[in-house]
Structure 1
Amino acid sequence: MTDPQAKDAARREARARRDAIAASDHPAAAAAVRDRIAELAQDGHLPRGAAGGYWPLASELDARPALLHLKRLGHSIGLPVSGPRGTALLFRDWAPEAPMATGRYGIREPAEGRAVLRPSVLLVPLLAFDRSGHRLGYGAGYYDRTLDALRDDGAVIAVGVAFAAQEMPAVPVDAHDERLDWILTERETLRIRK
Structure 2
Amino acid sequence: MTDTRAIKDAARAKARAVRDAIADDPLRQSAAAVIRDRVLADVDLPDGPVAGYWPLGSELDVRPLLLHLHGLGRPIALPVSGPRGQALTFRAWDPALPLAAGRYGIHEPGADRPELVPAVLLVPMLAFDRTGHRLGYGAGYYDRTLDALRAVRPVLAVGVAFAAQEVEAVPCADHDERLDWIVTERFALKL
TM-score normalized by the length of structure 2: 0.96
1:32-75: CA deviation from partner (whole Å, max 9, x where unpaired): 1000111135xxx1101100000000000001111112222331
Q: What is the CA distance between 1:26 and its match in structure 2?
A: 1.3
Single out whichever of 88-97 and 68-77 deviates more from structure 2.
68-77
**Aligned match of 1:36:** 38
Q: Percent of counterpart pairs with the same letter? A: 64
Whether the 8 Å contact between 1:125 and 1:137 is mirrored in structure 2 is: yes
> What is the CA–CA distance in structure 2 between the aligned matches of 1:40 and 1:139, rounded to whole Å?
29
Q: What is the CA distance between 1:18 and its match in structure 2?
A: 0.3
1:149-174: CA deviation from partner (whole Å, max 9, x where unpaired): 11001010000000000000000000
How does 1:79-90 map onto structure 2 within 5 Å?
79-90=78-89
How does 1:56-135 map onto structure 2 within 5 Å?
56-135=55-134
1:115-168: CA deviation from partner (whole Å, max 9, x where unpaired): 100000000000000000000000000000000011001010000000000000
> What is the CA–CA distance in structure 1 between the aligned matches of 2:70 and 2:60, rounded to whole Å?
19
Whether the 8 Å contact between 1:38 and 1:70 is mirrored in structure 2 is: no
Q: What is the CA distance between 1:112 and its match in structure 2?
A: 1.3
Whether the 8 Å contact between 1:79 and 1:94 is mirrored in structure 2 is: yes
Query: Alpha carbon RMSD of aligned pairs, Å?
Result: 1.2
**Aligned match of 2:146:** 147
**Aligned match of 2:18:** 17
Q: Does 1:161 align with 2:180?
A: no
Whether the 8 Å contact between 1:160 and 1:180 is mirrored in structure 2 is: yes
Letter of the aligned partner of 1:36 in structure 2? R
1:82-107: CA deviation from partner (whole Å, max 9, x where unpaired): 00000000100002111210011011
Whether the 8 Å contact between 1:38 and 1:69 is mirrored in structure 2 is: no
Change in Cα spacing, 1:10 to 1:116, as seen in structure 2 (3 Å) is same
Uncovered stretches (5+) of structure 1, i.e. residues with no partner: none
TM-score normalized by the length of structure 1: 0.94
Letter of the aligned partner of 2:162 in structure 1? F
Change in Cα spacing, 1:2 to 1:167, as seen in structure 2 (3 Å) is farther
Report the secondary structure of 1:159's partner residue: strand
Q: What is the number of residues matched between the two proteins?
A: 189
Report the secondary structure of 1:187's partner residue: coil
Q: What is the CA distance between 1:111 and its match in structure 2?
A: 1.0
> What is the CA–CA distance in structure 1 between the aligned matches of 2:120 and 2:4, rounded to whole Å?
31
User: Hey, which bits of structure 1, 4+ residues long, moved more than 3 A?
Assistant: none
Uncovered stretches (5+) of structure 2, i.e. residues with no partner: none
How does 1:163-182 map onto structure 2 within 5 Å?
163-182=162-181
